[in-house]
Structure 1
Amino acid sequence: MMKRMFDLLVSFCGLLLLWPVLLVSAVLVKLTSPGPALYRQQRMGLNFQPFDILKFRTMVVDAHKLGGQITAGRDPRITSVGHFLRKTKIDELPQLINVFKGEMSFVGPRPEVPRYVEMFRDDYAELLKVRPGITDIASLKYRHESELLGESDNPETTYTQVILPDKIALAKEYIRRSSILFDLQLIFKTVLRMAE
């Protein structure tokens, strides 16, 4: 209950304070490539309830039809503004709406697409007992995930056989160590990484 109250209060304040950044980002996305400013993708949430995660669109429209769900290296589907939004993590700011609505928390296992959840359903039965989050231990470790995948001969295999199992292990570690203090430490570390 305390965690939810924290999420509600901080996401509301964040949306209130960051609306100019959100507005400018949305306008830049719209002006530099055709399509909507926001990108919605179905992810699996608390108790296997699907929801649409919100991000600023950083790729061309229908990018999933031109490649897969994995973004590796300097993916040509990423727009010029998209590169900046991804590098600064500004593309993730609309997830404050997901947090405010109760679909996500600030800290928790990163939500995955249903296809990958099904591949590791037994693990996700444990992970999805908590709300997925904007950041967690794995988010810090894999901050440059797309670059790692760009170095792979087979990004899909690298993701499903190496990175995702490690992310799941780290998410289980987060759940074991979960507390308000630990959440605040992870938020602080995330902000520091964004400033790098």
Structure 2
Amino acid sequence: MRNDSVGRYYDALYKKRYSLLLKRIFDIVFGLITFIILSPVFVILSIAIKMDSKGPVMFRQVRVTQYGKQFRIFKFRTMVSNAEKIGTQVTTNNDNRVTKVGKFLRKYRLDEIPQVFNIILGDMSFVGTRPEVVKYVESYTNEMVATLLLPAGVTSEASIKYKDEERILTTSEDADRTYVEVVLPEKMKFNLKSIENFSLFTEFKTMIRTVLAVVSKQ
């Protein structure tokens, strides 16, 4: 991460270090409140997942977050067991590995709810660059690495802009290659711009826009 491309983003964030501290405090407090409020939802969705298909309730996968640290993300399982062994690491539209309950969870992004645990633990934040698997992080350019200056996030401007990412990958003969060469670079433009323009107010707006984007998919 020690290169000139990352340096200017580091300098921009250093000037906002007190806002970043408030961001972490917000993540912890709001994360705990969210978990308490959504506890009944956790139980209901867990039962639905177990009744729908064989396998664990949670999907745990190694992702990369701040400063290149690897962690295991929490997500509700939306695919059949061992889905990674029978397909790509990105999901395409109408992917036959997705379960019936999984389709519902993905449509309303309910599979992301367990990431509140990652937020409380400090591996993630409510807003930030979506955490990628190691395979994709290894393809980052020097500038893209700057996104690792902050914890990975549940949502971001890039997530909103590319909420229908699966449809783009569906038409590709090589989904992995298309993601790395086409989708990822475009998403990173938004992620890097978000670092330069970081503010708590902007992050609140992103959270609200995410909720509206999910609701609009109905």
Q: TM-score range by the shorter chain?
A: over 0.9
TM-fit CA distance, 1:121: 5.1
Query: SS of 2:35's equivalent?
Result: helix
CA distance in 2, matches of 1:91, 1:160: 23
TM-fit CA distance, 1:89: 0.5
CA distance in 2, matches of 1:45, 1:156: 20
TM-fit CA distance, 1:159: 0.7
CA distance in 2, matches of 1:123, 1:136: 18
2:192 to 166, 172, 177: 172
Quick check: 1:14 aligned with 2:37?
no
CA distance in 2, matches of 1:167, 1:176: 15
The 4+ residue runs of structure 1 with deviation greater than 4 A are none
CA distance in 1, matches of 2:180, 2:147: 17
| 8 Å contact from structure 1 (residues 123, 168) kept in 2 | no
Q: Give the % identical residues.
A: 38
CA distance in 1, matches of 2:79, 2:192: 31
2:147 paired residue number: 127
When normalised by structure 1's length, the TM-score is: 0.97
Q: Deviations over 1:84-142 (max 9, x none)?
A: 00001000000011111111000111111111101115234311111110111110011
Which sits farther off after the overlay, 152-161 or 48-57?
152-161
Map 1:38-187 to 2 at 5 A.
Answer: 38-120=58-140, 122-187=142-207
2:214 paired residue number: 194
CA distance in 1, matches of 2:36, 2:203: 22
CA distance in 1, matches of 2:88, 2:179: 12
CA distance in 1, matches of 2:169, 2:40: 33
TM-fit CA distance, 1:144: 1.2
CA distance in 2, matches of 1:152, 1:121: 23
> Any gaps of 5 or more consecutive residues in structure 1?
none
2:14 paired residue number: none
**One-letter identity of the residue aligned with 2:201:** L
**One-letter identity of the residue aligned with 2:140:** F
In the comparison of the two structures, how many residue pairs are matched?
196
Query: SS of 1:39's equivalent?
Result: strand
* Rg larger in structure: 2
Which sits farther off after the overlay, 135-144 or 150-159?
150-159
Which sits farther off after the overlay, 123-132 or 49-58?
123-132
Q: Deviations over 1:134-189 (max 9, x none)?
A: 11111001111112211223322221111001111111011011110000010010
Cα RMSD for the two superposed structures: 1.0
| 8 Å contact from structure 2 (residues 88, 175) kept in 1 | no
> Any gaps of 5 or more consecutive residues in structure 2?
1-20
Query: SS of 1:128's equivalent?
Result: helix
CA distance in 2, matches of 1:36, 1:44: 22
| 8 Å contact from structure 2 (residues 79, 97) kept in 1 | yes
Query: SS of 2:78's equivalent?
Result: coil
**One-letter identity of the residue aligned with 2:80:** V
**One-letter identity of the residue aligned with 1:97:** F
